[in-house]
Amino acid sequence: MQHKNRKNLLSLKEAYTVNQKAFKLLYRQYPQMFTSRLACVIWDALTPYISIYLSALIIDELSTTRDSETLTILMLIALVSAAIISLVSAFLTKWRDTQCAGMYFKVNQIFTKKLLDMDFSSVDNTKTHELLSTIDQNQNSGGWGLNKIIWNYEALISSILTLLGGISLTITLFVKPVSQDAGRMTVLNNPLFIVVLVLVMFAVTYISPALSNKADSYSARLADAHNLGNRLFWFFGGLGYRQEYAADVRIYRQDLICDKYNNDKTNTFGSKGIFAKYAKGPVGLYHAASAAVSVLFTGLAYAFVCLKAWAGAFGIGSVTQYISSITRLSGGVSSLIRTIGNMRNNASFLKLIFDFLEIPNAMQQGDLPIRQRSSCDYEIEFKNVSFKYPGSDEYALKNINMKLKAGERLAVVGQNGSGKTTFIKLLCRLYDPTQGVILLNGTDIRTYDYADYMALFSVVFQDFKLFALTLGQNVGVSVAYNKELAEQCLCKAGFGDRLATMPEATETYLYKDFSKTGVEISGGEAQKIALARALYKNAPFIVLDEPTAALDPIAEAEVYSSFNEIVGDKTAIYISHRLSSCRFCNDIVVFHEGKLVQRGSHEQLSADTGGKYYALWNAQAQYYQTTEHDW
């Protein structure tokens, strides 16, 4: 299997810029989360030095004068300070944990808000979802992205504070001289020796995390391979868990398709796969070298401190202080270098996130309010409207001219790909025309306030969705809804009989996601609820896209017979592949290959034997005609 490696890492300057940008984004959204974490980091980084310093004083006192009063005071200070530190730590930890609860959902809320604010044309674009899917996989598989920003900045601040605290307790280690009677040990006082030693120690301290960063960089470079491997793993490995596939899996033994992948040792995470290859090669070597260099530093630190103590530079208590503080100092330097490396590795993933978050909105946002009118006072006109989808060279609609009169019952028919759905998307202003203009009462719809214009339409899309909430909340699209109105709309939509059997009427939960007493509903029942939702909105235009596709013939006939009562004085647009269901509409438009080719009543269009409607009508009618040979 071929794997595509991620491009080279961003430069340090670019990485710094994008990390700062991500930090500001998160801080604006959740300032208390960062404040609480910062308080914890500062407290946790600096308080250990209090214990180190007091321990050194106590040990020094025990190894020298052993004054009981001094020891008592030092012990009391140590105990009180430890109690205060623990108490404050508990408080800060609780504050931090409260503010950071649901971190995964807080990050995802940023993406959700962007999607809701985005032009529908961008939401409808496959590239947008591919980008969002990649971001999601990076976040879930390797933890890359905005989640890492929090940990990295926390580690950065902690490293700097640890570094400063370590320096404050370590600086005297290098300036305290050994006795002039120490013989050859006096070399430890030589400034050149100290400078060389410090440089060597910092070099060793730098090399260890640098090697670790080099090993970690492979994870960033192989993120695409990791994501693909995860997708394959969850698909092939989880096929048996998918209820919707259960019947096909058993009938066609589709589980056998999975065997090749699940038993293939060369797949992404297999023992002969790409990650195993790197783990046995450079990644493993870098990690091993990093650990070895880290141990070398510890050895140098212990040797230097012990030699100075042996030569009489300080007592045993100071040995404890210097060993602890210099180890933490080294840890601070290592952590700082490692964190900078992590931030650089993460920068390319943050750039992808900003590629998504900065997708521009191109649709004109008008500010002209739409004055509330009665349903019969609206009129929409398409004038020379043509449209092609972004990235396409072909027109989905070409030169459409038509008026939609108030109170009209309009049926939109045509073969798949003829432009019916595109026509509705333009009508509802999910897209704007490529050419031409759509007018509402003589005014370009792009000049109207977008939310006001969208409020004119109630639409039952073919791929509508219901939530696992109460029936009433699904109809009213709100936590608080008008129960009486919701029941009326459900009855109008033909759901009355089923509503009577609901254990808690409109307060009954649909599905069992959030309630054990939730009820399962059929596709036809769901379609009726979606129709009731459209009626509840009470918009002047109602658009029905295959509204009876999931209904049985009897239920479909009931909807047709009561259609005028259901719609009332609203303008209704009815899209259907079943031409027989369009007969109750007083006006029918026929689309073919992106053009409006016919318009008229059923009688007029079916009488035109050379027209497209006649061909479609007869193509469907033959399946409903029977002869004696059919029996």
Q: Which has more confidence, 467 or 555?
A: 467
- According to DSSP, residue 65 is labeled T
- What average pLDDT score do residues 33-57 get? 84
Residues 27, 172, single domain; the answer is yes
**Distance between CA atoms of 301 and 197, rounded to whole angstroms?**
10
Band the pLDDT of 444: cuts 50, 70, 90: very high
Residues 298-340: tens digit of each pLDDT: 777 778 888 878 877 777 777 777 777 777 777 777 778 788 8
Structure tokens at 596: 């409006």
Q: In which band, very low, low, confident or very high, does the pLDDT at 624 lie, cut at 50, 70 and 90?
A: low
- Asked if 515 and 551 sit in the same domain, the reply is no
Specify whether the CB–CB gap between 587 and 409 falls below 8 A. Answer: yes
More confident residue, 500 or 561: 500
- Mark which of 538, 556, 578 sits at the end of a domain: 538
Residues 450 and 526 grouped into a single domain: no
Instruction: Answer with the one of 502, 520, 538 that is the final residue of a domain.
Output: 538
Task: Write down which residue in 538, 562, 580 finishes a domain.
Answer: 538
CA distance 6 to 142: 14
Exposed / middle / buried, residue 255 (Cβ in 10 Å: 0-12, 13-18, 19+): middle
Q: For the segment 337-358, what is each residue's pLDDT rounded down to a tens digit?
A: 788 888 888 888 899 899 999 9
| Under 8 Å between Cβ of 616 and 578 | no
Classify burial at 594, counting beta carbons within 10 Å of its beta carbon; exposed 0-12, middle 13-18, buried 19 or more.
buried
The angle that helices 316-357 and 31-63 make with each other, rounded to 10 degrees, is 170
With CA atoms as reference, report the closest residue to 613 among 625, 602, 626: 602
d(CA 272, CA 281): 12
Mean pLDDT across 571-590? 80
Full strand arrangement of the beta sheet holding 457-460: 457-460, 541-545, 571-575, 409-413, 587-592, 595-600
Which sign does the torsion angle of CA 377, 383, 386, 390 carry?
Answer: negative
What torsion, rounded to 10 degrees, do the Cα atoms 204, 210, 215, 216 define?
130
Instruction: Express as a percent the part of the chain with pLDDT over 70.
Output: 92
Claim to verify: residue 579 and residue 449 sit in the same structural domain: yes
The answer to whether position 190 is within a domain reads: no
Confirm whether 304 is domain-assigned.
no
- Number of Cβ atoms within 10 Å of the Cβ of 313: 22
Same domain, 534 and 548: no
* Residue 515 falls inside a structural domain: yes
- CATH number for position 485: 3.40.50.300
Higher pLDDT, 150 or 435: 435
Considering 99-103, 350-354, 365-369, the range whose residues carry the highest mean pLDDT is 350-354
81: number of Cβ within 10 Å: 15
pLDDT digits (tens, 9 = 90+) for 224-248: 777 777 777 777 777 777 777 778 8
What is the pLDDT confidence band of residue 550, given thresholds at 50, 70 and 90? low
Who's near 172: CB < 8 A, 6+ residues apart? none
Average pLDDT over the chain, rounded to an integer: 81
* Nearest alpha-carbon partner for 511 in 474, 468, 473: 468
Entry pTM:
0.73
Which tokens belong to 333?
């330097």
Task: Provide mean pLDDT across the span 102-116.
Answer: 86
Whether residue 235 is contained in a domain is answered as: no
What's the pLDDT at 556? 66
What local confidence, expressed as pLDDT, does residue 4 receive?
A: 45
Could you tell me the two tokens for 347? 């920068």
**Domain-located, residue 297:** no
User: According to the model, what pLDDT value does residue 445 have?
Assistant: 92
Whether 511 is covered by a domain: the verdict is: yes
Query: Which pLDDT value is given to residue 1?
Result: 43
Q: 255: pLDDT confidence band, cut at 50, 70 and 90?
A: confident
More confident site: 406 or 518: 518
pLDDT at 435 over 90: yes
The rounded distance, in Å, linking the Cα atoms of 592 and 524 is 29
Q: How many structural domains comprise the chain?
A: 3
Mean pLDDT of 60-86: 85
Q: Quick one: 447 and 474 in the same domain?
A: no
How many angstroms separate the CA atoms of 88 and 174, rounded?
34
pLDDT at res. 627: 44
- Residue 631 above 50 pLDDT? no
pLDDT of the residue at 485: 92
For position 549, what pLDDT does the model report?
Answer: 64
Pairing of strands 409-413, 595-600: unpaired
Residues 84 and 156 in one domain: yes
- Same domain (yes/no): 398, 478: no
**425 and 479 part of one domain:** no
Question: Which residues fall within 8 angstroms of residue 500, CB to CB, at 6 or more apart?
Answer: none
* Structural tokens at position 435: 């050419």
* pLDDT for res 257: 77
438 near 427, Cβ under 8 Å? Answer: yes
CA gap 26, 146 in Å, rounded: 8
Q: How confident is the model at residue 269 (pLDDT cuts 50, 70, 90)?
A: confident
Q: Which domain holds residue 609?
A: 375-456+540-626
**20 and 167 fall within a common domain:** yes
Let me know whether 446 and 503 are in one domain.
Answer: no
Residue 195 lies in a domain: no
Return the pLDDT at 524. 81
Summarised one tens digit per residue, pLDDT across range 189-230 is 778 877 887 787 777 777 777 777 777 777 767 777 777 777
Residue 384: predicted pLDDT: 94
Q: Are residues 420 and 492 in the same domain?
A: no
pLDDT reported for residue 6: 46
pLDDT at 555: 65
Instruction: Quick: pLDDT tens for 375-385.
Output: 567 889 999 99
Q: Does the residue 199 lie in any domain?
A: no
Q: What is the DSSP letter of 467?
A: -
